[in-house]
Amino acid sequence: SASVDRAVEVLAGRRVAVLTGAGVSTDSGIPDYRGKGAPTRTPMTAQQFLSNADARRRYWVGSHLGWKVFAAAEPNDGHRALAALETAGVANGVITQNVDGLHVRAGSGRVVELHGTMRRVGCLQCGQVFDRRDLAERVEADNPWISLPENVELGPDGDVTPASADGFVVPVCSVCGGTLKPDVVFFGEYIPVEKFREAEQLVHASDALVVAGSSLVVNSGIRLVERARRKRLPVVIVNRGATRADQRAAVKIDGGTSDVLKAFAERLPGLL
Ligand code: OAD
Ligand code: ZN
């Protein structure tokens, strides 16, 4: 399309930082937060999780079921194109707001996971970190009855609202018995300062910023766009529907991330 051609012109010969959101994973069957058909549930806040054992039980049932969905999801052409662009020396790395781990699985090497990842679970008391797969086995063993309900509404965090959490045995830290929490930024929580700085540095070390599949409604995303603009880097946005930075973009492509990123991966390496 004409807008893809213009974006390729703008990006030609530049080292590109990429910022992704939930839209890059919808083609892998994981819903987004604010797109068409996104689920309409309010996510649990860190406050609720920390202050209430019942809330933690509900969270853990949903998070465990959601993990099974994440674990079964496969990277799509968009994730693969970004990995290929990095290998070709076009992309400097990926900053993602997603917690599904699909960029890592697609082979991207430098991935800044701004909102953390569901692959890891941490103990809030002693700090021990657990691999999600190992923990999921423990949860299954403790709750052999658990299975994905049919027609369930999945959230982008891979969370599920179960009909009931009665009887669910919540996993605890095997070292100290403490409270376990997936290594993700909850609603109402801040991104660790070092993590945001890492993202900023990636933008500063690049000659352009590509945003793919994010409404940029969340502040950290829009702040990275501002950093790029302040350094006079051109910003290219690939998103179905409006984003909060459309006015500030050199080129806005209203299209699917899988197709458009694939087109970038076919065309940009030859223009370096
Ligand atoms: P959003 O759901 O806000 O935005 C995703 C955007 O992608 C929407 O504008 C969709 O229309 C678009 N979209 C969906 N599928 C697409 C496709 N295949 N091709 C192109 N565009 C597509 O998701 P994010 O911007 O990622 O934070 O949301 C940011 C943060 O808000 C999340 O990380 C989460 C949430 O609060 C935390 O949980 C801390
Ligand atoms: Zn512990």
Residues 6+ apart with CB under 8 A from 32: 21, 22, 23, 25, 26, 38, 156, 213
- The predicted complex's ipTM stands at 0.98
240, amino acid identity:
R
Distance 177 CA to ligand 2 centre (A): 6
Q: pLDDT exceeding 90 applies to what percent of the chain? A: 77
DSSP-derived 3-state class of residue 125? coil
Distance 257 CA to ligand 2 centre (A): 40
Q: Is the CB of 257 under 6 A from ligand 1?
A: yes
Q: Residue 228: in which H helix or E strand, if any?
A: helix 219-230
5, amino acid identity:
D
* Protein residue with least CA distance to atom 9, ligand 1: 215
DSSP-derived 3-state class of residue 237? strand
Distance 83 CA to ligand 2 centre (A): 35
Catalytic annotation present for 115: yes
Determine which one of 64, 79, 103, 115 is catalytic.
115
Q: For 72-100, how does the pLDDT look when each residue is reduced to its tens digit (9 = 90+)?
A: 899 999 999 999 999 999 999 999 999 99
Q: Is the CB of 240 under 6 A from ligand 1?
A: yes
Residues 6+ apart with CB under 8 A from 196: 114, 220, 223
Least confident stretch, 10-19, 81-90, 151-160: 151-160
Index of the ligand 1 atom closest to the CA of residue 115: 39
Mean pLDDT of the chain, nearest integer: 92
**CB-based contact 209:228 (threshold 8 Å):** yes
- Residue 158 pLDDT class (50, 70, 90 cuts): low
Distance 34 CA to ligand 1 centre (A): 6
**CB-based contact 61:168 (threshold 8 Å):** yes
Q: Does pLDDT of 54 surpass 70?
A: yes
Closest ligand (CA of 125): 2
Supply φ then ψ for residue 253, to 5 degrees.
-110, 115
Angle, in degrees to the nearest 10, between helices 132-142 and 53-72? 120
- Residue 152 pLDDT class (50, 70, 90 cuts): low
Mutate to test the pocket of ligand 1, among 30, 32, 41, 236 (most ligand atoms within 8 A of CB): 32
Q: Is the CB of 135 under 6 A from ligand 1?
A: no
Q: For 198-231, how does the pLDDT look when each residue is reduced to its tens digit (9 = 90+)?
A: 999 999 999 999 999 999 999 999 999 999 999 9
Q: What is the DSSP string of 46-83?
A: HHHHHH-HHHHHHHHHHHHHHHHHHHH----HHHHHHH
